Amino acid sequence: MEKLLHTPEGVRDIYNHECESKLQIESKLHEVMNRYGYQDIQTPTFEYFEVFSEERGTVSSKDMYKFFDRAGNTLVLRPDITPSIARCFAKYYKNEECPIRLCYGGSTFINNSEYQGKMKEVFQLGAELINDASVEADAELIALTIECMQEVGLKEFLVEIGHTGFYRALVEDACLDEEETEQLRLLIMNKNRFGVEALLTEKEMDQSLKEAFMTLPELFGNVSRLEEIKKITNTPKAVETIERLEEMYHLLEVYGYEKYVTFDLGTLSQYNYYTGMIFHAYTYGTGNPIVTGGRYDSLVKQFGKDAPAVGMAILTNQLQIAMSRQKTDIMMKKSRELILYKKAYFSKAVNFAQMKRYQGIDCMMCCMENTEDRAALQAYATRVGATCIRIFDQGDTMDTITEWETV
């Protein structure tokens, strides 16, 4: 019986208030994406393994749910949606040269055993702007993120922006191999300055470059720090990335959203497909990001079409956790009536309920031969979220309806 009642580890049921609230949040976020011109797309829950294999730079193969089709091909539950959108773009927009905006909602699946308590099925709502290499496109994704946060009623949140190109330029200059690059990336992501120092001590490279790597975990702050950050490196490509971030910041000033923005050049992503600006949105109430995003100019090319792109995904569960802890509830209280009737009054009750439904009021009908116990009925109404009870059990005119508000 144990297994019959339980969901597998890392997945769960969502019901009652939480589910209703989740759907309302998703609907509001989706509206914002539409408002920015993003058009809906849905991709399958599982795909060929190749779509997410190592070259794509999403998650490691061992962390994917894999199975086989009848022909013996390896299928995986999608661990990420961006590569699927990249595949679609290469397939359905092969000859498109102008910017295309796509948005989607769906579950992703990561079979991760390392972190206890981490969910394995994670819903996300995402937006991708493809065929657009401009810094204006980068700024749009940040603006869209900020507006999504505002739409659900969040007041205090920050978008922390980095640039993968900065780190890559330093790595290139330092001639680090792949393994060292990855080791260093993890140390920097964990803001482990001493680890970085230890790793670099044995390496031969310019002292100024070593200094740059060592300060990386500390290169965060508001826009005024960008000027300073430019000075710690002579690598032209690294300097260019900072200049692009500065330009993007000025575009965000036009939107009026600069106050939500902060920079962190030590921010690196678990996704290797990012090539430019990357960002995470945070708010209080959860330590995890509520939005992640960035520029990925080489991913679509892997599917056969050379197209720069930038995108973001909102992790709605993290957002909902934060909103709940912040007591920010966007739920609109709906009128919902509980209509109780004795069998003989079925017609009258149905006609009444249909009229109410026509007016846009939710009505639950319930045949009850015994409607005497008011306290029990009241408790039931509360359990099913009814805001009003009506009883059809006597007389034959509408006037004899017993009704009372439950709240």
Distance (Å, rounded) from C-alpha 338 to C-alpha 390?
6
Query: Is residue 80 at the binding interface for a second copy, with CB under 8 A as the rule?
Result: no
Residue 8 interacts with a second copy (CB under 8 A): yes or no = yes
The residue within the footprint of a second copy, chosen from 157, 352, 380, 392 (CB under 8 A), is: 380
Residue from 25, 29, 59, 75 touching a second copy (CB under 8 A): that is 75
**Residue whose CB is less far from a second copy, 116 or 201:** 116
Which residue type does 330 have? I
Measured between alpha carbons, how far is 2 from 24 in angstroms, rounded to an integer? 33
Q: Which residues contact 15 (CB under 8 A, 6 or more apart)?
A: none
Minimum CB distance to a second copy smaller for 69 or for 197:
69
What's the min distance (Å) between Cβ of 41 and a second copy? 4
The answer to whether 82 and 273 are in contact (CB under 8 A) is: yes
Longest dimension (CA), the chain: 95
Would you give the binding string for a second copy spanning residues 250-289, x where CB under 8 A is met?
A: -x--xx----------------------------------
Name the helix (H) or strand (E) containing 368: none
- Cβ–Cβ < 8 Å for 305, 90: yes
Nearer to a second copy, 152 or 232 (CB): 152
d(CA 277, CA 318): 22
Looking at residues 292 to 321 of the shown chain, list those that interact with a second copy (rule: CB under 8 A): 302-304
Segment contacting a second copy by CB under 8 A, of 9-17, 184-192, 218-226, 258-266: 9-17
- Tell me if 5 contacts a second copy by CB under 8 A: yes
Q: Is residue 346 near a second copy by the rule CB under 8 A? A: yes
The least distance separating a second copy from the CB of residue 184, rounded to whole angstroms, comes to 29
107-128 burial, b at 16+ Cβ within 10 Å, e below that, comes to: ebbbebeeeeeebbbbbbbbbb
Using CB under 8 A, which residues numbered 16 to 35 contact a second copy?
A: 16, 19-20, 22-23, 34-35
Q: List, in sequence order, every beta strand (DSSP E) within 164-224.
A: 220-221
| 166 binds a second copy, rule: CB under 8 A | no
CB 181 within 8 A of CB 189: no
Among 90, 125, 171, 200, binds a second copy (CB under 8 A): 90
Please report whether residue 383 would count as binding a second copy according to CB under 8 A. Answer: yes
Amino acid at 381: A
The alpha carbons of the chain give a radius of gyration, in whole angstroms, of 27
Nearest to 56 by CA among 17, 76, 30, 86: 86
Among 136, 160, 258, 329, binds a second copy (CB under 8 A): 136
248 binds a second copy per the rule CB under 8 A: no
The least distance separating a second copy from the CB of residue 124, rounded to whole angstroms, comes to: 14
121 is a site residue for a second copy (CB under 8 A) = yes
Stretch of residues binding a second copy (CB under 8 A), selected from 7-15, 156-164, 266-274, 283-291:
7-15
- 99 scored as a contact of a second copy (CB under 8 A): yes
Residues 348-377 that bind a second copy (CB under 8 A): 350-351, 354, 357, 360-367
State how far the Cα of 364 lies from the Cα of 385, in Å rounded to an integer.
10
Q: Which of 25, 29, 81, 100 binds a second copy (CB under 8 A)?
A: 100
Cβ proximity to a second copy, 47 vs 172, nearer residue? 47
Contact stretch for a second copy (CB under 8 A) within 48-56, 201-209, 214-222, 389-397:
48-56
Compare residues 186 and 379 and give the one whose CB is closer to a second copy.
Answer: 379
- 270 and 146 Cβ atoms separated by less than 8 Å: no
Is residue 186 part of the contact set for a second copy (CB under 8 A)? no
Which H helix or E strand runs over 363? strand 362-367
Nearest CA-CA partner of 125 in 300, 302, 294, 293: 293
Of the CA atoms within 13 Å of residue 11, those in its CB half-sphere come to: 10
Residue in the block written with tokens 């923005």: 261
CB of 240 to a second copy, least distance (A): 18
Q: How far is the CB of 301 from a second copy (least distance, A)?
A: 11
